[in-house]
Each structure stands twice: as C-alpha cells, then as structure tokens.
Amino acid sequence: MIKPKLRPIETKVEIDENGAFQRQKNHFTQPFGQGATDLKAESGKYRLFWAKGCHWSNRAAIVRELLGLEDAISINLVGHSKENVKYGWEFVYDEDHKDPVTGVQFLSELYYNADPDYQGRCTVPALVDVTSKKVVNNDYHRLTNYFEVAFKPFQKAGAPDLYPEELRAQIDDYNDNILFLNVNNGTYRMMFAQSLAAYNEAFDDFYNTLDTIEECLANNRFLFGDYVTDSDIRLFVTLARFDTHYYRNLGPIKHRIVDYPNLWAYARDLYSIPAFAHNTYFHSIARGWDKDKDKLFVDFNSRFADQIDFDAIWSQPQDRAVLSQTPEQKFLLH
C-alpha cells in the first residue's frame, strides 16, 4: 500500500493574489483517440470512480448510463470517512473500505501509481486502467466526450447522440467558455473566494449567465434545441446542487433555481430521464453537517434534509414538451 498524503486544501493552495479561486489543472489528460499516443477505448479495461456530491464526476456517471456503457466501463463510488477525511476520497461504501477490483483504500493510491510525484488534489472523475491500477484520465472537461465518441463501438443499440458532429464546435465553446467559467466553476468561485471583489465578480458572472439561459429556454426545450446534448448534462448537475447544497456556502443569493420558471421546469424535464434520476443522490448532496441537535442554532439541512422528499419535488409535472417538434423524443439517435 502506498502511504496516503494529506489532501491539499483549495483555499490554501488555489487562491490567487486577488483572493480569487483558480482551480487546479487536470493532470492526466492523455486523450482517447486513434493517434499513436492516444489512449484506446476497450471494453472492460477501464473503471470510473466518482462521488455522489461531486458534479464534475456526476456528469460522467450520467453519460455512461445514457449511452449504455455499463458493461464496457465498470464503476464505483468514493466518499469520505470521518477518521480519514484528511486523505481525500476513500472507498467508504465497500467492505474494509477497499475497492473490490483494484484493492486500494484511497483513490490517491491510483494517482500515485500513475505518478509517484503527483502533488495536487486527487479528484474525481478518475478513469483507471484496471490492469495497471493507474489513473489514465481525470480530465472532466473531455471525459464525457470520450465516452460519446471513442467508446461509440461499445454503446448500446439506439444510444443517444449527445455530441452531434455538426454541433461539436458550438458545444465545446459553450461548455468551456460559458458553462465552466460562469456556472459549473462559478459556484466554486463564489464558495472559495477569499476577497469580496472576487466573490462579487463570480456572483455577477453566475447570475448573468443564468439570466441568459433562462431567456434561451423560453423558446428552446434544451440548450441546443429539441434534443439533450452533453451541455445539458453539465448544466443539470450544477442546477441539482444549488438549492440543495451550494446555497449554504454563499451569502445572500439573488435567486434560487426554483425562482426561474424556465430553468426549474427544464431541470425537472431532465430529471424525468432515468439516467439523471438514478445518478442524483439528493440526500447525500444535502446531508446535514451539524450533529449536535442540542445547540441553539443548527443549519437548515441538518434539521430537515432527511425529511424532504426530493424525488417528489423534482418529479412535479412540467410542460416543456410543447417547445419541441418531437415532444416524445428527447434524444437525437445515432
């Protein structure tokens, strides 16, 4: 067993001189493809590790199920134990806290197998080669795209086309320059900001973008029209966490997601798709932090999260289908 290292703390090592959060770069970014140095998609060779609360990895789990890659790419969840939280992600849901396929206790062991000198946070999603027990890719920017393109030979019959070739340039631009900067990472820019100026900048970027998306969704069922794309999955995982979890780490908020008529109905439209619901663990996302119920002030989630029927809330009817030319069909099929 490789001795685990202490997990670096974002607010200590990823803050710039202006107090703004600068997320660490992904370390294992070798792409999947047909090039001489590219990783090759194979069935049964790779294992995806993700965490219930982590939206960066949640989207990989959703895409895997949507595409029917369950037999091609195995999967397991990581979490935190009270006694070992300082060492990062651990296989807390497994017997002896060890992943049954790789045999390790901490995700970091698979990182250090691949690079003994690695110094950053050991993040999810992490795609691991089960034969070498090494992380081969942790690039959440591109991992779902590799599932959508490189792993196409292993997708189920009739799998949805989440990354249509004719839209890829637009989807990439939207994912990288709108969703990542202002929404997906925008929430963390607010939560980890160490100066009020950095917080306000992230706050404005986040809400200005939500306002624009709200307007877009007045006429479009999904971000790129009638069909779910990779971008919708990336937006959904942040929407699912904002009212449930992120709000706890912010100051006064401008709006909740439920206060946006189009965004809220759109999020529920996506949640009605089984792969979205199956991979969204609301009670884990909303878990209470305060175990001392005798205190005078106990946070809202600690008091009430276990009593909330999130599935019922998110399954409320919506009429988004009227915006589509194919109301019964949410996906473009291959």
Reported as a single tens digit per residue, the pLDDT across 19-41 is 999 999 999 999 999 999 999 99
CATH number of this structure's domain 10-154: 3.40.30.10
Question: Which one is catalytic: 54, 112, 174, 266?
Answer: 54
Question: Does 85 belong to an annotated binding site?
Answer: no
Q: pLDDT tens-digit profile of 169-220?
A: 999 999 999 999 999 999 999 999 999 999 999 999 999 999 999 999 999 9
pLDDT at 92 (0 to 100): 98
CATH class of 165-323: mainly alpha
Return the domain boundaries, the chain. Answer: 10-154, 165-323
Confidence of residue 296 (pLDDT cuts 50, 70, 90): confident
Per the structure block, which two tokens stand in for 299? 């946070």
286 pLDDT higher than 80: yes
Q: pLDDT tens-digit profile of 221-265?
A: 999 999 999 999 999 999 999 999 999 999 999 999 999 999 999
Q: Residue 215 contacts by C-beta under 8 Å, 6 or more apart in sequence?
A: 262
User: Is 247 noted as a catalytic residue in this protein?
Assistant: no
If 0-12 CB within 10 Å is exposed, 13-18 middle and 19+ buried, where does residue 226 land? middle
Question: Does 216 belong to an annotated binding site?
Answer: no
Question: Does 289 belong to an annotated binding site?
Answer: no
Question: Does 123 belong to an annotated binding site?
Answer: yes
If 0-12 CB within 10 Å is exposed, 13-18 middle and 19+ buried, where does residue 229 land? buried
User: Is 216 noted as a catalytic residue in this protein?
Assistant: no
Question: Does 122 belong to an annotated binding site?
Answer: yes
Question: Which one is catalytic: 188, 227, 246, 271?
Answer: 188
pTM for this predicted structure: 0.96
